[in-house]
Structures are given as structure tokens and as C-alpha cells.
Structure 1
Amino acid sequence: MKKLLLPLSLLLLALAACKPAAKSDDTLTIAATAVPHAEILEVVKPLLAKDGVKLEVRVFNDYVQPNDQVVQGQIDVNYFQTEPYLKAYNQDRGTKLETYIGVHIEPFGAYSRRYKSLDALPAGADVVIPNDPSNNSRALILLHRAGVIQLKDPSNQMATLRDITANPKQLKFRELDAAMLPRVLDQVDLALINTNYALDAGLQPTRDALAIEDVKSPYVNFLVGRPDLRDDPRVKKLEAALTSPAVREFIQKKYQGAVLPAF
């Protein structure tokens, strides 16, 4: 019997060693895109550590997986998106993710390597815009406000190419994944690019954009999560840290107007 008990005990120890370690109750996982979200979260980490919360940041280069993984419970919360984008995601997938708190605004811009102004765009210019519903309409609304096209209802945050009522320059629109737009900037006449991807590509929105949203932009970037975590003490501490004076000062100094505090 003793000979049998010894191997069994060793087997149990081996199985215990192979079992994944449980996540500590004071750890909070968050999905984010690299710029500026993950950079801002690096400022937040020590603030939360002082408050007894370990923040684990997982960086993504797309807009789908951060939501998918929060829905699946693999990550607690995310920080990368606007409310219109989240609404479109929830509607498309039948999910119920919620906005928790608004943190910053990234003024959306129009960029060109070939032309110095929107007026200089030639007839039939090749224009690329994001292919997701929220940023797609955001690009069109910016061009409407810049006088390049006219939309049936420029206040409609889900406007599409079908809503263009006037296109004097006969611009030719193509829709691409938002992350791809900086990569094709040299190959097109105009690209409408989200600020996080513009910054990541070395563009300075306040200097390089031919047209850009102003401080009244409704496209605030939110901390987002599932309804069951809304009142989690760790999340409440994260909300307080994200809207702290230290984060405000970092945003203002680091991004020089390319990213604006929303609190």
C-alpha cells in the first residue's frame, strides 16, 4: 500500500504544478491599442498599485479582439473605443458591453502625402476610409464639414457612402481596415485615419492633418466592460486613476493637442 501511495502523491503534485495559477483578486486585466491607450495606462499602473490593484495591460492592433475577449471573459475591461463604435459592435453581435467612463478624445483627421490641402485634391481622387460602421461615418462627416462632400444628415453617426448627396470632385472611395490606412497613405490621394493609428505611424495630427475634428467631437474614448463588472472595486479604482490630474497632465504634455482629456 505504501508503494502505491508514494507514486500517487507524486502524480498529484505534478498535476498541481501543471494547473494554471489562478488570477489574484487584486489583478485587473485590460485590453488596449498601443497609442495612446497603452501609453496612458502605463501612467495609471503605479497609481493603481498604490491603491492595491495590479493592472495587466494586453495590447492589440485591431478593434475587434479587445471586445471579443472581454465578452468571452478572457479579459476584464478594455480601453480603445468610442461609444458609436461600441453600439455598432453590440448591435452586430448581440452583445451587451457597456461604457463605464469617458477618458479622452482623439480628433479624427484626413491626411495626404501628395497634396497640401483638400482644395488641391483632383477630380476622381482616390480616398480611403475605415470600413467599420462607426469610423466609416466619422470619416464622411469630417469630409462633409470640410465642404468636400455633402451628406443627407451630417448628424447621423451611422451615415454611409449611400448617404452622400453631393460629391463635386467625384472622389472614389475605398473602405479598408482602420489599422491598414497609415500603411497605404503613400499609395492614395487621401486617407481618413484614426488618431491612435496616425500617432503610431509617426504622424502629428495637429500638424499633418488637412482636416481634423475639433474639441467638440462627440467621439470620446471610453473604458468599456461587461455589466457584471461595472461596480467592481478594482474597476472603480481604475476609473478614478484614468480621470486623475496625473493622467490629464500626461495627455496634455505628451500629445500636444493630438489627444484631448475628456474629463
Structure 2
Amino acid sequence: MKKLIIFLLTALLSLALVACGTADNEEGAEDTSNSEENTEETNDEGATEENEELTKIVVGASAVPHSEVLEQAAPLLEEQGIELQIETYQEYVLPNQDLDSGLLDANYYQHTPFLETEKEQKGYDFVDLGGVHIEPIGFYSKNVESVEDIEEGTTIIMSRNVPDHGRNLLLLQEEGLITLDEDVDPTEATVEDIVENPLNLEFDTSIEPALLTQNYEREEDTVVAINTNYAIEHGLVPTEDAIILESPDSPYANLIVARSEDEDNEALQTLVDVLRSEEIQTFMEEEYDGAIIPVSE
């Protein structure tokens, strides 16, 4: 009888020890889980703090090449604590409207004459933070292969963007196709300022810039002045396909533009510096094969 009692007590003691061990393990597992959760929370907080340290800027740009150039600049800006958000546009009106309304911190698509016209007509309080690249404008045609092949009465199609008219007409004058009134600033010239037109060229200035390539495809016997960004996007190579191409010393640099209140904004100043850096300039030269020309000053 004593042996039976001792056996039962020993069995009960063993079960008690096992139960305690199991409970300890479960508590340990819970502690480990809590530790992992705490670690994850710490990591998340650290990541959040790191993201909060980045200064975010929103820049509007034409699709090609402007947005592509900005995409190359984004990692370089991130290294300097700046997060770049790119908003892409297909036309020339909204980027300035959105900049004025505060939806954008800056935009990158326009040259000085266009900017000055927009400011005068719409009252924008904008400032030019610096040029990034030049897009030599060109004249293209499906059937006309050279300036010498332009026949009498040929239609010259230019966009309805008036600030580009003087730029286009000056190129035609340099090729001897027209003569402009010498009392008019060539950069501000319009079709009405043509005083000599020996080939009786016709001019169509009613087309939206984004639709110029469609007219190039459809109107085969015309000569169309196409902005380089649209030409590249359409698959044209300006240095090979244009029958007339603006020289590299063009004053029409594409600018980073911001509201005047942000003229000294450090993040936007850094954006200009990065876009003028050797790495980005090399990308532009290699990617676009001379179709756009970097500006370093």
C-alpha cells in the first residue's frame, strides 16, 4: 500500500513539473512574439522617420524628353534628401495653370519667349530658375527632301503657339525663303512681318503643337515646323529627318520655372544643379543623339 501511494505521488509531481515547463515555454513564446512585434514597430517608425526627412517637390513636365530627364535625376535628388514627383503633360496650357494654382512646385517645358508671353497675358507671377537644355526646332516634310525642293506655293505649317512664330520665321529667312521687316525683333515676328516671299509660300498657323506630327503624316506636300519634343515622341530624328534645323546656339533654352515666392527654394535650386550635372548632361547627349543640347549655365 505504501508503495502504491509513493508511486501515485511521484506521478502527480512529474505531471506538475511538465505543466509548469509547458506554461513557461508558452510565456517565452509570447515574449518572443512581443519582441518581434516591437522590432517591427521600431523598424516601421524608423522608415517613416527616414521618409519624413525627404523634402518633396512636384514638377510638371512634357512627356519627352522632359519627364524622361527628370526620371534620371530622381535618384540623384533622393541622395540629397529630395523626393521628386513628376506630373506629365501632353500640351502647353495646363503646366502653368497648375503651377499658378499650387498643384506644382515647378514646371519644366517652356522657353523664355513662351514664359514671358504667358506672364504678360495671364498675369502669372513666375520666375525662371535656369535653363536645362535646348531643343532645336526643325522643319519636316514627307515629300520635300531639301530646301531646294520647296516649290512655289508650298504650305508652311506652324503651330498656333505665337511665341514660336518668330523662331520659325527666322529659320526660313536664314535659308533665303523669306525676308522679315528689319524694324521688327525677329524673335517677336509674325507672318504679317514678312516683306518678301519670292516663292509665295502659304502659312497655316492654326494647329495645336501636339497635332503637328499628325499634319506631317497627313499633308505630304507641306513643310511642318515641329517642336523637338513632339518630333522625338513621333519617332523622328531631328538631326537626320529635318530639312531645316535650328543651330545649337539657339537662345530658346527649356527652363525650370517656379512661382516668384519660391525663387530661393533650396530644393528647387538643387533640382537645377542636378539637371545641369555631368551625369544628366551625358544622359541627354547619349539618349537623344544631338536632338537636345544640354545647358550648363
Q: Output the TM-score relative to the length of structure 1.
A: 0.88
Which residue number in structure 1 is paired with residue 103 of structure 2?
Answer: 74
Which residue number in structure 2 is paired with residue 248 of structure 1?
Answer: 281
1:27 is aligned to 2:67: no
- Report the alpha carbon displacement of residue 140 of structure 1 after superposing the two structures with TM: 1.1
1:182 is aligned to 2:182: no
* Counterpart residue identity of residue 221, structure 1: N
Count of aligned residue pairs for this structure pair: 241
- Bigger relative contact order (CA 8 A; separation at least 6): 1
- Measure the CA separation in 2 of the matches of 1:160 and 1:44: 37
Sequence identity, in percent?
A: 34
Q: Output the TM-score relative to the length of structure 2.
A: 0.78
Equivalent residue in structure 2 for 1:162, among 192, 212, 220? 192
Which residue number in structure 2 is paired with residue 134 of structure 1?
Answer: 163
Which residue number in structure 2 is paired with residue 108 of structure 1?
Answer: 137
- Measure the CA separation in 1 of the matches of 2:175 and 2:144: 15
- Measure the CA separation in 1 of the matches of 2:102 and 2:225: 33
Which residue number in structure 2 is paired with residue 13 of structure 1?
Answer: none
Runs of 4+ in 1 over 3 A off after TM superposition: none
Which residue number in structure 2 is paired with residue 208 of structure 1?
Answer: 241
* Counterpart residue identity of residue 245, structure 2: I
> Deviation digits for residues 26-47 of structure 1, max 9, x if unmatched?
1100000011101100110000
> Deviation digits for residues 136-194 of structure 1, max 9, x if unmatched?
22111111111111111474211101101111111111111111101110233100011
**Is residue 284–residue 294 contact of structure 2 (8 Å, CA) maintained in 1?**
yes
Unaligned runs of 5+ in 2: 1-51
- Measure the CA separation in 1 of the matches of 2:188 and 2:100: 23
Unaligned runs of 5+ in 1: 1-22
Which residue number in structure 2 is paired with residue 46 of structure 1?
Answer: 75
Task: Please give the root-mean-square deviation of Cα atoms over the aligned residues, in Å.
Answer: 1.5
1:117 is aligned to 2:146: yes
- Measure the CA separation in 2 of the matches of 1:50 and 1:129: 42
**Is residue 53–residue 81 contact of structure 2 (8 Å, CA) maintained in 1?**
no
